[in-house]
Amino acid sequence: MKLLRVENLKTYFHISEGIVKAVDDVSFSLDDGQCLGLVGESGCGKTTTALSINRLLPPEGIIEGGEIYLESVKLTVLSDVEIRKHRWKDVSMVFQGAMNAMNPVMKIGEQIAEAVVWHQQVTHQQAWNRAKELFELVELEPGRIGGYPHEFSGGMKQRAMIAMALACDPKLVIGDEPTTALDVMVQAQILNLLDRLRKTLKMGLIIITHDLSILGETCDRIAVMYAGKIVEIGSTEDVYDRHMHPYTHRLLMGFPNIHRPKLMPEPIPGSPPDLIRPPSGCRFHPRCDYAQEICQEQEPGMTTAGNGHSYACHFGGAFNG
Amino acid sequence: MSSIDGVMRRKKLKRFWNGFKNNRMATTGAVILVFFSVAAVIGPVLFPYNPMEFGTVETILQPPSTTYYLGTDNLGRDIFRNLLSGARISLMVGILATLISMFLGTSIGIMSGYFGKTIDSVLMRVTDFFLVIPWLPLVLVLVAILGSSVWIIILVIGLTSWAGTARVVRSQTLSVKERPFIERARAIGADHSTIMMHHILPNVFPLVFANTILVTAVAIISETTLSFLGLGDPTRPSWGMMLHYAFQSGAASSGAYWFFLPPGLCVVLVVLGFTFLGYAFDEILNPKLRRR
C-alpha cells in the first residue's frame, strides 16, 4: 500500500488581489520508506504542498479540490480536532531555519518532550527520557538536553529539530528546506543523518528544496514543480540523466557538475510567473527556449516515459537535438 | 548536564543581582518597599488599631508626643497606629487590584492578538472603551452603585486598569505568533490554549512583568484618590481615607500638619518605590537600555 497519495490537489490562497493558485492539480505518491525530493524555484508551491498534507495552511489558504490519503486515512476531510491527532504522530516536519522554529524561552528537551506528551500517554519523566534517546539518535550529546536554543549552533539546532520530528515515530517526515542556511559540510551531515534515519526507522521522507544538487544521494524519486504544477516526476536517475522537461534541464544547468564538461552555470532568465494570472498554455513558455505557438495555447498533459517517469511538455527532450 | 544548566542559571542570576546592586534606583526602590512591607505586615500586630475607638475631648488633635508618636486626629485616634494599618490596606489594594488587572490585560491581549479577526475587533473595541472613557467618573459611578467595601474597590480598580496592558500584550502577541516556532507548535498538534499558555505567554511575560510593577503604583494612587473623595471603606481606613478626614476637618488650615503630612508622604514614597523599581527592572532586563 502506498504511504501517501496526493491526488489532483488544488490549494488556493484567497487574498485581496485575487486568487493565488499556489498548488494547481498536483498528484504524486510515496511508498513506505521511500524518499521523494520536491524541487523548484521559490514560490512554485513546494511548501504549500507540504503544508496541505498536514493542513497547516494559513487561514487564506484553502484546499479547493483533490484528495490526500495517508495509508487509508483521507486527511483532506478530517475535522480540525481529528487532524491534530495525526499531526506529528503520523506526519511530522523539519522546518527550514531551525533557529526560528524553536521557542527561545523553552529548553530544547522540553520542546521535544512536549510533542511526546501531547500524543502518547506518558509521564513527563518518560517523555524526557525519550528526548534523551532521540538526542543520541541524532548524534547530539544527551547531556545538552537541558540547554536553550541559543546555546546550540545552527547544525546542532537542525539535529535537535530532527530529533523533535522523530519524537512520535512518524510514518512520514517532511523536511522543508532542512539544510538551507547551513554551510555545505553541515548540509551533507544533516542529509546523511536524515537518510540513515529513514532507512533504520523505515519512514517515508519528503525533502523540499530549491537545490537539485543535494537530492542525488538521498532521494529515490524527484518531483520538479513549476508555478504550482508538477512538470516532471521520476526516479532520481531518470530526472538527472534522462530528463525531458526543459525546466528540469535549466535547473540542472544552474549548478556546476563535476561529471559534465566544464561549463559556466547558467541562470534561468526571468522569474516565476504571477500565480494570480498564470500564463496561458504551458506555464513555462515565456521563459522556455523551445516554446512554439502550441505552448501558448494548449496546456501540455503528462506524457509517460516508462518506469514511472512522466513529464508535462509538448516537445519533451527538445534540448537534446 | 544539570550542573552545566545550574551554572548557567547561577551566572544569569548573578548578572541580574550585580545589575540590581549597582543600580541606585533599584536599590532605593527596593529599600522603600521592603520597609513599607515590613511595616504593613508586623506594624498592626505590634500597634493594633481600631478605627471605631474614639478619644475624648482632651485627646483630640494632639500634636506628636511620647504617648502619640505622630499625634491624634480630629476624633482622638492615634495617627501612628492608623498609618500602620493604612499601609496594610493600601498595599493590599494595590497588589490585588494589579493581579486582577494583569490577569485581564494579559488574557484579553493574548486572545485578541492570537485569534485576530472578529474576536480581535470585539475585544479591542471593549479595550478602546476602557481606554477612552474618563476613569474617575466611571469609577465613582461603579463604587457608588456597588458599595464601598475594600473588596469592591479592589475589583473596580482591577476592572478599569487593564486596557493599557491588553494593548501592549496584544501587539507583542501579534509579533510572537508569526514566528516559526508557533507554526511548529501547530504542526505538533497542539491546540489553541496550549499554544497561548506554553508558547506565547512565556514570550510576552517580560512585558507583563515590567508593566505589573508600574500598574501597582497606579493602583495605589487610584485607591488613594477614591478614598480621598470619600468612597473608601470607613471600617478599614487607608492612607487616602486619612487624607480625606484631614481635608474634611480642615487640618491644613488649622496647622495640624501631623494629620495630613504622614499619610501624604507615605503614599508618595510607596508610589515612588514602585516606580523606581519598575524603571530599574526595565533598565536591567532590557539590554537596549543597559548602561555599560
Contact: B189, A114; criterion CB under 8 Å: no
List the Cα angle B208/B214/B215 in 5-degree steps. Answer: 75
Class of domain B28-48+68-285: mainly alpha
Contact between residue A232 and residue A224 where contact means Cβ atoms under 8 Å apart: yes
Contact: A95, B184; criterion CB under 8 Å: yes
Helices (H), B161-236: 163-177, 180-188, 192-194, 201-228
Interface test with B, best of A48, A82, A103, A140 (most B CBs within 10 A): A103
The DSSP result for A71-128, as a single string, is: TTEEGGG--HHHHHHHBTTTEEEE-S-TTTSS-TTS-HHHHHHHHHHHHS---HHHHH
How many CB atoms sit inside 10 A of residue B10's CB?
10
The 3-state DSSP class for residue A264 equals: coil
Sheet holding A4-15, edge to edge: A18-30, A4-15, A61-70, A73-74
Q: Which chain A residues touch B if contact means CB-CB below 8 Å?
A: 54, 56, 84-89, 92-93, 95, 97, 100-106, 114-115, 118-119, 142-147, 151, 164
Out of A35-44, A79-88, A171-180, B278-287, least confident range: B278-287
Of residues A319 and B112, the one with the higher pLDDT is: B112
The 3-state DSSP class for residue B225 equals: helix
- Cα B230 to Cα B245: distance, rounded to the nearest angstrom: 9
Using one digit for the tens of pLDDT, what is the confidence trace for A66-81? Answer: 899 988 888 888 888 8
- Termini Cα distance of chain A: 40
Phi and psi (nearest 5°) for B72?
-125, 160
Domain boundary (A129, A154, A169) is at A169
Contact: A146, B5; criterion CB under 8 Å: yes
Contact between residue A148 and residue A6 where contact means Cβ atoms under 8 Å apart: no
Across chain B, the runs of DSSP E, i.e. the strands, are none
Which of B176, B196, B195 is closest to B108 using CA atoms? B196
Q: Which of B4, B181, B190 sits opposite A118 (nearest CB)?
A: B190
Using one digit for the tens of pLDDT, what is the confidence trace for A236-256? Answer: 988 888 888 989 888 888 877
Using one digit for the tens of pLDDT, what is the confidence trace for A3-61? Answer: 999 999 999 999 988 899 899 889 999 988 899 999 988 888 888 999 999 888 888 88
Question: Residues near A311 by Cβ (< 8 Å), separated by ≥ 6?
Answer: A231, A232, A233, A234, A243, A244, A245, A248, A302, A303, A305
- Output the pLDDT for position A6: 92
Cell 486598569 sits on residue = B161
Is residue A113 one of the residues assigned to a domain?
yes
Which of A238, A278, A312, A226 is closest to A20 using CA atoms? A278
Q: Which of A88, A97, A147 sits opposite B187 (nearest CB)?
A: A88
ipTM: 0.75
Q: Counting Cβ atoms within 10 Å, is residue A320 exposed (0-12), middle (13-18) or buried (19+)? A: exposed
CB pairs under 8 A between A and B: 73
Interface membership of B58 toward A (CB under 8 Å): no
Banded pLDDT at B64 (limits 50, 70, 90): confident
Residue-range domain boundaries for chain B: 28-48+68-285
Is residue A131 one of the residues assigned to a domain?
yes
Domain tally, chain A: 2
Length of chain B as a residue count = 292
Q: Residue A303 corresponds to which cell in the numbers above?
A: 506524457
Q: Which of A56, A102, A115 sits opposite B181 (nearest CB)?
A: A102
DSSP A16: T
Phi and psi (nearest 5°) for B82?
-60, -40
Mean pLDDT of A202-214: 88
A179 and A85, same structural domain? yes
- Cα A136 to Cα A159: distance, rounded to the nearest angstrom: 10
Strand partners, A74: A69
A107 and A236, same structural domain? no
Residues from chain B that touch A145, judged by Cβ atoms under 8 A, are 1
A220 and A177, same structural domain? yes
Contact between residue A1 and residue A71 where contact means Cβ atoms under 8 Å apart: yes
Sheet holding A172-176, edge to edge: A91-94, A172-176, A204-209, A35-39, A221-226, A229-235, A310-311, A303-304
- Output the pLDDT for position B52: 73
Residue B286 has pLDDT above 70, yes or no: no
Phi and psi (nearest 5°) for B51?
-70, -15
Percent share of chain B, pLDDT over 70: 95
- Output the pLDDT for position B1: 43
Query: Considering all CA atoms of chain B, what is the largest pairwise distance in Å, rounded to the nearest integer?
Result: 78
Interface membership of B137 toward A (CB under 8 Å): no
Written as one letter, the residue type at A263 is L
Interface membership of B184 toward A (CB under 8 Å): yes
- Output the pLDDT for position B3: 54
Mean pLDDT of A134-142: 89
Domain boundary (A226, A252, A269) is at A269
Contact between residue A14 and residue A64 where contact means Cβ atoms under 8 Å apart: no
B180 to chain A, minimum CA–CA distance in Å?
A: 5
Residue A127 has pLDDT above 80, yes or no: yes
Contact between residue A177 and residue A211 where contact means Cβ atoms under 8 Å apart: no
A104 and A233, same structural domain? no
Is residue A320 one of the residues assigned to a domain?
no
Contact: A84, B185; criterion CB under 8 Å: no
Contact between residue A78 and residue A86 where contact means Cβ atoms under 8 Å apart: yes
The CATH number covering residue A234 comes to: 3.40.50.300
Is residue A255 one of the residues assigned to a domain?
yes
Q: What is the pTM of this model?
A: 0.77
Distances (CA, A) of A96 to A113, A175, A207, B190: 21, 8, 11, 20
- Output the pLDDT for position B5: 59
Is residue A80 one of the residues assigned to a domain?
yes
Residue B111 has pLDDT above 90, yes or no: yes
Containing H/E element for A63?
A: strand A61-70
Is residue A108 one of the residues assigned to a domain?
yes
Contact between residue A162 and residue A92 where contact means Cβ atoms under 8 Å apart: no
Residue A258 has pLDDT above 50, yes or no: yes
Residue A321 has pLDDT above 70, yes or no: no
A85 and A137, same structural domain? no
Q: Residue B236 corresponds to which cell in the numbers above?
A: 478599614
Residue B174 has pLDDT above 90, yes or no: yes
- Output the pLDDT for position B149: 85
Phi and psi (nearest 5°) for A256?
-70, 145
A160 and A21, same structural domain? no
Range of the domain at A115: 99-169
Contact: B187, A87; criterion CB under 8 Å: yes
How does strand A18-30 pair with strand A4-15? antiparallel
Is residue A304 one of the residues assigned to a domain?
no
Q: Residue B43 corresponds to which cell in the numbers above?
A: 506594624
Out of A86-100, A143-157, A220-234, least confident range: A86-100
Mean pLDDT of B59-85: 77
A110 and A28, same structural domain? no
